[in-house]
Amino acid sequence: MAQLSNLAVRDIETVIHPYTNLAKHREVGPLVLEEGKGILVYDNEGKEYIEGLAGLWCTSLGYGNEELVDAAATQMRRLSYTHLFGHKSNDLAIELAEKLKEIVPCEASKVLFCSSGSEANDMQIKLTWYYNNAKGRPEKKKLISRVKGYHGVTVASGSLTGLPPVHMDFDLPIKNVLHTSCPHYYRFHEDGETEEEFAGRMAQDLDDLIQREGPETVAAFIAEPIMGAGGVIVPPEGYFEKIQAVLAKYDVRFIADEVICGFGRTGSYWGSQTLGIKPTSVSMAKAITSAYVPLGAITIEEDLYQAMLEQSKKIGTFGHGYTYTAHPVASAVALKTLEIYERDGIIDHVKKMTPVFQGRFAKLADHPLVGEVRGRGLIGCAELVADKATRQAFDPKKLVGTQAVKYAQDHGLVCRMLVDSVALCPPLIIQEDEIHEMFDRLERAIDDTAAWVEREGLREAS
């Protein structure tokens, strides 16, 4: 084992790392990043990496964007902080809310701000309950998410998340949160089942769940247009059309979690537009500020707003909000980010780069270690398997995906391991030559992983 640097030792003794094997971390230490420019980041020893996941699916405009830096600094000097409690506001929060109402893929009456995607989805649960209490339907409180969906890690939003490590030993999920089937055709289709038939079965699973629970008890359904942390899962054609028919039948709100897909990632401004979703409400965060400062938000439809008004009259206040709700610095950076998206034609750029990006992923499908490639726009992943013909997965304890990501890092590429799927989601500003270089590094990492798998005899062991 390599000798850990003083900085690594200090990290180990002071910092808790999310989504990290804390015991393993004591052995291997952190990758300490110190600088970034464009799509590149540099560690504390000066080594260069392509940031292939845009941080955590979020740094859409890349690193060191001076316009965003200036927007933050200017606002800090002008009005560094104010809040929205007790009838106070700030001009940038007002302007940002107006802008978001114009561009969201649903009918929005108002916007409620927070600081993260987890908080946004936490608010979706609270307001769903609040709304149905106001409407005199105290039994209509259940929310349905999906297996492998990711919606955050607060007690409530973590309950929506459909990944076991988020629940295990945290006593989650809480009451009134349910999970329906994951629409991953490659992993879960039955023999001889077409994608259309599979989509129909997924919708029937949802219908059956609502029937079992009682339609009068089910209030909302939440879904990412394309699942992120669950494995970059793109549902089959027609899936959301069939799902929305079920929700309409039972008067169930549809919450679109656009935290990853929103603001151009899929080649449309919203993933909902790419996947044909007509949501009741939208959750957003991440690329709203290109991740330069924390900000999240949800849309409030008119019917919900009217219910909130009535509750405020009854209770005397709307008893929710954060110290940093619509923080003026975050609002300033968000407005500048949205301006850059429009001025620089970022969505058109994503559309132009998509065939290059997805084409390189498609090429990976021929690799003996790759079972499936999937994605849309500038998000995708390659799933590594022990046997391509049978889709047999590796023993999860062998950490094949972790090894692949380690090899990628050795080759100067930062990417994300999702069990044994290796994900890429680069800054939206990435250029064609940079895409090719990114995939060249990934291909070398997968070749190294394949050689390691053979040396360890992992195909036979799986």
Q: Which CATH number fits domain 68-343: 3.40.640.10, 3.30.300.20, 1.10.3720.10, 3.90.650.10?
A: 3.40.640.10
Helix (H) or strand (E) holding 14, with range, is helix 6-14
Question: Is residue 1 very low, low, confident or very high in pLDDT (cuts 50, 70, 90)?
Answer: very low
- Express each pLDDT in 274-318 by its tens digit: 999 999 999 999 999 999 999 999 999 999 999 999 999 999 999
Q: Angle at CA 125, nearest 5°, toward 122 and 129?
A: 145
Query: Hey, where are the domains in the chain?
Result: 31-64+345-461, 68-343
* Among 341, 390, 370, 352, CA closest to 442: 370
Name the average pLDDT for the chain.
96
Structure tokens at 119: 């908080």
Residue 220 confidence (pLDDT): 98
Residue 12 has pLDDT above 70, yes or no: yes
Question: What is the rounded average pLDDT of the residues 399-411?
Answer: 96
What is the spatial distance between Cα 441 and Cα 110, in angstroms, rounded to a whole number?
Answer: 45
Question: What is the rounded average pLDDT of the residues 16-44?
Answer: 95
Structure tokens at 105: 């893929």
Please count the other Cβ atoms lying within 10 Å of the Cβ belonging to residue 159: 28
Under 8 Å between Cβ of 182 and 86: no
Under 8 Å between Cβ of 36 and 63: yes
**pTM over cut 0.75:** yes
How far from the centroid of its chain's Cα atoms is residue 429's Cα? 19
Please count the other Cβ atoms lying within 10 Å of the Cβ belonging to residue 305: 15
- Express each pLDDT in 357-399 by its tens digit: 999 999 999 999 999 999 999 999 999 999 999 999 999 889 9
Please count the other Cβ atoms lying within 10 Å of the Cβ belonging to residue 363: 13
Q: Detail the DSSP E strand segments found in 289-426.
A: 296-300, 370-376, 379-384, 413-414, 416-418, 421-424
Q: What are the distances in angstroms from CA 125 to CA 53, 98, 253, 278, 321? A: 28, 24, 11, 19, 14
Residue 461 confidence (pLDDT): 62
Output the CATH code of domain 31-64+345-461. 3.90.1150.10
Question: Is residue 459 very low, low, confident or very high in pLDDT (cuts 50, 70, 90)?
Answer: confident
Give residue 365's identity as a one-letter amino acid code: A
Residue 446 has pLDDT above 80, yes or no: yes
Question: What is the rounded average pLDDT of the residues 78-96?
Answer: 97
- Express each pLDDT in 137-181 by its tens digit: 999 999 999 999 999 999 999 999 999 999 999 999 999 999 999
- Express each pLDDT in 109-146 by its tens digit: 999 999 999 999 999 999 999 999 999 999 999 999 99
Question: Is residue 3 very low, low, confident or very high in pLDDT (cuts 50, 70, 90)?
Answer: confident
Q: CATH topology of 31-64+345-461 equal to that of 68-343?
A: no
- Express each pLDDT in 219-242 by its tens digit: 999 999 999 999 999 999 999 999
Burial 264-300 (b: 16+ CB within 10 A, else e): bbbbbbbbbebbebebbbbbbbbbbbbbbbbbbbbbb
